[in-house]
Amino acid sequence: MLNAFIDDMKSRILIVEDEAAIREMLGYSLMKAGYSCEEAADVEQARTLIHAHKPDLILLDWMLPGMSGIDYARRLRNDTDTQGIPIIMLTAKGEEADKIRGLDTGADDYITKPFSTKELLARLRAVLRRYADEAQQGIIEVEGLVLDPETYRVTARNEIIDISPTEFKLLHFFITHPERVFSRVQLLDQVWGQNVYVEERTVDVHIRRLRKTLEPFSFDKFIQTVRSVGYRFSTH
């Protein structure tokens, strides 16, 4: 049902790729699959297109002339206008794929060239579905802590909290699954996605950051450590 719903909306995909042959191939495949597409050869063109009309998802190549895809992804995530747009990074095989895993860019998924259209469409659908689910859930409020999945904005007692995309995802996952204990591995799968290789201790780093962000409002107590098991969100 949801699949059909997403397809009916004709999601608008922005392809940012400097190699014309790949860009055109992507555009063709996506249009054939029912998406509406726009193409940019560099960050400059991408900016203009995004400014004119916000896309539903950005396919962003890592190696671009001028500003790299990875730097641009970070900019998009730091800009309140664009931080809610899903990003799938395109990387070349080898070194880049390894490097990219270690970087906290806030990209939603990575796909390594060469890839099949089938694989690309599956990843794209998964990311779009996840965002549609989150948007449907709408604004969440727990004891004065408010999350808006559409804008990635968090407010605590009406004060806007400065929060990174990863911390947002982590908090969003916790708040929508209260009272349940999750292991580090489960949190990695749920928040970072199964295709991303992140070490378990990365979870602890982000938990620490999240607590620090919530501390001024005493909401850090909601993020509880369950010794030798993992973490839980609880208001008790």
Query: Which chain residues interact with Ca ion by CB under 5 A?
Result: 18, 61, 63
Q: Which is nearer to Ca ion, 63 or 97 (CB)?
A: 63
Q: Which is nearer to Ca ion, 61 or 167 (CB)?
A: 61
- Least distance from Ca ion to the Cβ atom of residue 93, Å: 13
Q: Which is nearer to Ca ion, 61 or 134 (CB)?
A: 61
Q: Which is nearer to Ca ion, 38 or 61 (CB)?
A: 61
- Least distance from Ca ion to the Cβ atom of residue 19, Å: 5
- Least distance from Ca ion to the Cβ atom of residue 4, Å: 34
- Name residue 226's amino acid: V
- Least distance from Ca ion to the Cβ atom of residue 64, Å: 6
- Least distance from Ca ion to the Cβ atom of residue 137, Å: 36
- Least distance from Ca ion to the Cβ atom of residue 2, Å: 33
Q: Using an 8 Å Cβ cutoff, are 207 and 224 in contact?
A: no
Q: Which is nearer to Ca ion, 23 or 77 (CB)?
A: 23
Residue nearest to Ca ion (CB): 63
CB within 8 Å of 89: residues ≥ 6 apart: 60, 61, 62, 69, 70, 73, 100, 105, 107, 109, 110, 111
Distance separating the N- and C-terminal Cα atoms of the chain:
37
Residue 211: both structure tokens together: 């607590």
From 51, 46, 49, 73, select the one nearest 62 (Cα to Cα): 73
Q: Which is nearer to Ca ion, 61 or 108 (CB)?
A: 61
- List, as one string, the DSSP characters of 17-83: -S-HHHHHHHHHHHHHTT-EEEEESSHHHHHHHHHHS--SEEEEESS-SSS-HHHHHHHHHHSTTTT
From 44, 55, 130, 106, select the one nearest 85 (Cα to Cα): 55
